[in-house]
Amino acid sequence: MPQKVPSFAELLSSATRSAVHLEMRDTYAVAEEAEELRLWRSGSWTLDDGRKALGEWLDLVAETVARGVVVRRARIVSEPVTDYIRYEHALTPLNLEAGEEVRWLPRRRAAGIWLPHADFWLIDDRVVRFNHFSGDGEAVEPEMSEDPHIAATCFFAFAQVWERGIPHGEYPV
């Protein structure tokens, strides 16, 4: 029987020590971001626009960090980067303000790292939420696992990406 997948609010509220997120796609077609991305491409976008769009997420991260949970995000990206990655890079100062730590790893520097089949969140090194996407980048049903082997494998993959990753402020796009 498939395991119920909690919301991000439920997932992050369950964290007591750490929440790490690995992103490996060069583009996402997340419906909520479509208007923001169009605005960013037009050149009329500001961080305040991003703050409005991401307000609930930023509040959730800030609340999580305030409880003492370390929240880290690593992004593996192809170079030259896509417009979507430039957009994410422009938004990242908001993640940092909320308390996330963010690093970028050029895909060519990921050689030799075992990477899982999908983006994931790993909570307290024990619960994994895999985020699945269709070929055109639309989010599809996520998957949960509490299998210790899967969690350990994701922990190891994230640790290697994090170690090789470039802190946001040092990664130009």
At residue 35, does pLDDT exceed 80? Answer: no
Q: What residues form DSSP beta bridges with 133? A: 139
Query: What gap in Å lies between CA 173 and CA 72, rounded to an integer?
Result: 20
E strand intervals along 13-80? 18-23, 70-77
pTM of the model: 0.94
Tokens 């919301």 map to which residue?
Answer: 7
Burial of 121: CB neighbours in 10 Å, binned 0-12, 13-18, 19+: buried
Query: What gap in Å lies between CA 98 and CA 59, rounded to an integer?
Result: 7
pLDDT-derived band at 33 (thresholds 50, 70, 90) equals low
At residue 2, does pLDDT exceed 70? Answer: no
* Per-domain boundaries in the chain: 8-170
pLDDT-derived band at 31 (thresholds 50, 70, 90) equals low
Asked if residues 11 and 121 have their Cβ atoms less than 8 Å apart, the reply is: yes
Query: What gap in Å lies between CA 35 and CA 32, rounded to an integer?
Result: 7
Strands in 119-123's sheet, in edge-to-edge order, are: 139-145, 127-133, 119-123, 18-23, 70-77, 101-106, 166-167
Query: What gap in Å lies between CA 169 and CA 123, rounded to an integer?
Result: 25
What are the pLDDT digits (tens) for 89-142? 999 999 999 999 999 999 999 999 999 999 999 999 999 999 999 888 888 999
Fold classified for 8-170: Endonuclease; Chain A (3.30.870)
Q: For 15-40, what is the mean pLDDT?
A: 86
Element (H, E) at 143: strand 139-145
What are the pLDDT digits (tens) for 45-69? 999 999 998 999 999 999 999 999 9
Question: How confident is the model at residue 28, as a pLDDT?
Answer: 86
Q: What does the mean pLDDT of the chain come to?
A: 93
